[in-house]
Structure 1
Amino acid sequence: MTREQYILATQQNNLPRTENSQFYPVGIYGWRKRCLYFFVLLLLVTMIVNLAMTIWILKVMNFTVDGMGNLRVTKNGIRLEGISEFLLPLYVKEIYSRKDSPLVLQSDRNVTVNARNHKGQLTGQLTVGADAVEAQCKKFEVRGREDDSVLFSADEDEIIIGANRLRVTGTEGAVFEHSVETPHIRAEPSQDLRLESPTRSLTMEAPKGVHISAIAGDFKATCRKELLLQSTDGEIFLNADTIRLGNLPQGSFSPSTPGSTNPRQTVYELCVCPSGKLYLSPAEAGSTCQTSSNVCLWS
C-alpha cells in the first residue's frame, strides 16, 4: 500500500492523526524488485528451452503412440525394425525374426547365450566364437523340421546320429579310436570302400553273420602277418568261377618211378598240412601229398 492510499484510508475512517506518525512502505522496491524480475525471466527462458529440447527429442527419436524409433510395442511383445544394438544384458523369453528375413546376432567378440534356472544357476551355455562353437549342457540335440525326429544327440554317455545316412566326405575318411556298431557300411557310387587298421588288428563280428559284397568291383583283403577266416559252428564257403591262390609254396616229392622226370610240369595238386597250411605238389596218377613234406615240417 502506498502513502497516498494510506492517508486516504485514514481520512475516510476519521482516525486521529498525530503529527509524529511514521509511514512504512509496503511492497518490493529497488534491487529486490529487479532480482525478482530477473529470476522470473530466467525461469521463463528455462521453461521455453526445456520445452524446445523435449519437442526436439520427441522428433529425433520418432516417438509415437506405438513406440519410439525402430521399437514398436504390439500385443505380442516388442518389435524392432532394422539394426538394434544392446550395450547391457538382454533378458527375453523368445526372439523371432520377420518371415521374409533371417535373424542375425552379431558381435565384435563372442556371442553367448545362457540359460539359468529359477535360482540363477547356469544350466546351459552356447558360445559362438572366432575359433570354435562351444555348447555346455547336459544333453545336446538336433531335431528335424518336419517330423521333429532326433538327427543328432550327445550326452556324457553316448552320441546318437538319427539320420538315415551318415556321409563322410573327407579324403582321410573317418577315424574311430574304439569299436563301431553299425548295420551297414557303404561307399559312394564309383568310390572304393576301405576298412583299414594301420597299427592294430581289424575285427568284424556279428551275431548272425557278416556280409561283404562288391557288386561292380573286386574285394581285396590285405594284411602283413595272418588273415584268419574262422567259423565256429558252420563252414567257410567260397563260390566263384575261378578260385586262385597265389604264391603257394611247392612241396618236395619223390617220384614213384626212379629216373622219371617231367621238365615241363603244368598241373599241380593242392595239398594241406596237418597244421592247415596249403602247398602245391606235382600232380600224377595218384596223390602226391605227403605229410612229411618239407613245407609241413617247417611250418
Structure 2
Amino acid sequence: MDESTSLDIEALKMTEEQYVLEAQSGHLQQPRCDAVDTVGLYGWRKRFLYFFLSLLLVIMMVNLALTVWIVKVMHFTVDGMGNLQVNGEGIRLEGISEFLLPLYVKEIQSRRASPLVVRSKRNVTINARNDQGQLTGQLTVGPDSVEAQCQRFEVRTRDGGKVLFSVDEKKISIGTDTVRVTGSDGGVFGHSVETPHIQADASQDLKLESPTRTLTMEAPRGVEVTAARGKLKATCRKDLELQSTEGEIFLDANAIRLGSFLPLGVYSPSSDAASQKQTVYELCICPNGKLYLSPAGSRSSCYSTSNVCLWN
C-alpha cells in the first residue's frame, strides 16, 4: 500500500516536471517571421515630396513679391488706389483717367476752378436712361458734328431761371433780347418768320430781300417801316403794291418826289410842241389807278382820254 502510493506520487511529480518544462519551452520559443513591413517614405517618393514642398515655397515667395510690387506700383492706401480716392462723397480721380468700357455715374464734377475735359479719339457719347433701361436722351460729340437726341433741348442762363434757346418737334424758341446774325449774307429763311421787331446794327443798312419770289409783310394791326436817320428804298422788278383794305395809305413828308420814270400823258396833238417847253407838270391818275404826268396849265390837264390811260 505504501509502495504503490509512493509510485503514484513519483509519477505525478514526473508528469508535473514534464508539463513545466514543456510550458517553459513554449514561452521561450517565438514564432519566426520571414517578411518585415517598414513604415515611412523612402526612395523617389521622399525626393518627390521634398521637390513639391520646395516648389510650393518658391511659388509662395514669388506671389508675395508680386503682391508687394503691385501694392507699391498702384499706390494702394487706406483711402483708395493711387489717383483714385474713395470718400463719403464719392470717388475722386486725380490726373488723366482712361475708361475702356462704359462708365455709369450719377454726377461728374471737376475740381474747384478747374475745367472738366472729356477726350476721345472718335467721339464722346452721353446717354440718359429711365428706370426700365430705355434710352431717353443722348448727346454725341463727334469730330464733325454735335448731335443731341431728346424730346426737348434747352439752353438756360447761368442761374437756370431763363430759357435762352429751346427746340422741340414743333417749334424753336429764342429767349434772348437780341438775335444777332453776323454773316455777310445775313439770315436765310425757307418759310415765314414771325417777329415783333427787325432792326439793323448801328451804322448798318437793313435789307429785306426775296431774290426769286415775292416779299410779303403782314400784321393784324399794321406794319411800320421806319428809317430814323436814313432813306427807305423799296425796289421790285414788277409791281409794287401798297394795299389797305379798310383804311388809307398816308404819305407824310416834306417833299414827295416821283422820278422820271412816270409816263407823260398826251391828250391832243397840238399839245406835243408845247410840252417840249413845259417845265411844270401835274400828277394825274387814271380810273384804273395808273399815274402819269400832264403839262400844268391854268386849269387841270388830266383827262381820262389820255394816251397813258387808253394803253391800259
Same fold (TM over 0.5): yes
Q: CA 1:88–1:260 in structure 2 vs 1: closer, same or farther (change >3 Å)?
A: closer
Using the TM superposition, give the Cα deviation of residue 260 of structure 1 relative to its aligned residue in structure 2, in angstroms. 8.8
CA-to-aligned-CA distance 1:64-92 (integer Å, 9 cap, x gap): 11111211101111111111111111111
1:18 equivalent among 26, 30, 46: 30
Partner residue in 1 for 2:244:
231
Between structure 1 and structure 2, the one with the greater Rg is: 2
Q: CA 1:262–1:206 in structure 2 vs 1: closer, same or farther (change >3 Å)?
A: closer
Matched, 1:216 2:238: no
CA distance in 2 between partners of 1:183 and 1:55 (Å): 74
CA distance in 2 between partners of 1:263 and 1:204 (Å): 42
Same amino acid, percent of matched pairs = 67
CA-to-aligned-CA distance 1:235-255 (integer Å, 9 cap, x gap): 211111111111111101449
CA-to-aligned-CA distance 1:93-112 (integer Å, 9 cap, x gap): 11111122211111111211
Q: CA 1:261–1:156 in structure 2 vs 1: closer, same or farther (change >3 Å)?
A: closer
Matched, 1:120 2:129: no
Q: CA 1:37–1:206 in structure 2 vs 1: closer, same or farther (change >3 Å)?
A: same
Task: State whether residues 253 and 282 of structure 1, in contact with CA within 8 Å, keep that contact through their aligned partners in structure 2.
Answer: no
Matched, 1:94 2:143: no
Task: State whether residues 127 and 139 of structure 2, in contact with CA within 8 Å, keep that contact through their aligned partners in structure 1.
Answer: yes
Partner residue in 1 for 2:22:
none
Partner residue in 2 for 1:182:
195
1:251 equivalent among 265, 268, 287: 265
Structure 1 residues 68-217: aligned runs within 5 Å:
68-217=81-230
Matched, 1:284 2:297: yes
**CA-atom RMSD in angstroms:** 2.1
Task: State whether residues 114 and 124 of structure 1, in contact with CA within 8 Å, keep that contact through their aligned partners in structure 2.
Answer: yes
Using the TM superposition, give the Cα deviation of residue 261 of structure 1 relative to its aligned residue in structure 2, in angstroms. 3.7
The alignment's TM-score, normalised by the length of structure 2, stands at 0.86
CA distance in 2 between partners of 1:261 and 1:215 (Å): 42
Task: State whether residues 266 and 272 of structure 2, in contact with CA within 8 Å, keep that contact through their aligned partners in structure 1.
Answer: no
Between Structure 1 and Structure 2, how many residues are aligned? 284
Aligned residue type for 2:266: S
Q: CA 1:274–1:101 in structure 2 vs 1: closer, same or farther (change >3 Å)?
A: same
CA distance in 2 between partners of 1:152 and 1:16 (Å): 119
Which stretch has the larger CA shift, 65-74 or 141-150?
141-150
CA-to-aligned-CA distance 1:229-275 (integer Å, 9 cap, x gap): 1112222111111111111111014499x999465211111111111
CA distance in 1 between partners of 2:223 and 2:28 (Å): 139
CA distance in 2 between partners of 1:267 and 1:56 (Å): 109
Q: Secondary structure at the match of 2:201?
A: coil
Give the unaligned 5+ runs of structure 1.
1-14
Task: State whether residues 264 and 292 of structure 2, in contact with CA within 8 Å, keep that contact through their aligned partners in structure 1.
Answer: yes
Give the unaligned 5+ runs of structure 2.
1-26
Aligned residue type for 1:235: E
Structure 1 residues 30-45: aligned runs within 5 Å:
30-45=43-58
CA-to-aligned-CA distance 1:122-154 (integer Å, 9 cap, x gap): 222111111211111111111111352111111
Which stretch has the larger CA shift, 34-43 or 84-93?
34-43
Matched, 1:28 2:41: yes
Task: State whether residues 263 and 308 of structure 2, in contact with CA within 8 Å, keep that contact through their aligned partners in structure 1.
Answer: yes
1:270 equivalent among 283, 286, 305: 283
Which stretch has the larger CA shift, 65-74 or 18-27?
18-27
Q: Secondary structure at the match of 2:127?
A: strand
Aligned residue type for 1:183: P
Task: State whether residues 217 and 223 of structure 2, in contact with CA within 8 Å, keep that contact through their aligned partners in structure 1.
Answer: yes
CA distance in 2 between partners of 1:17 and 1:49 (Å): 62
Partner residue in 2 for 1:10:
none
CA distance in 2 between partners of 1:80 and 1:248 (Å): 80
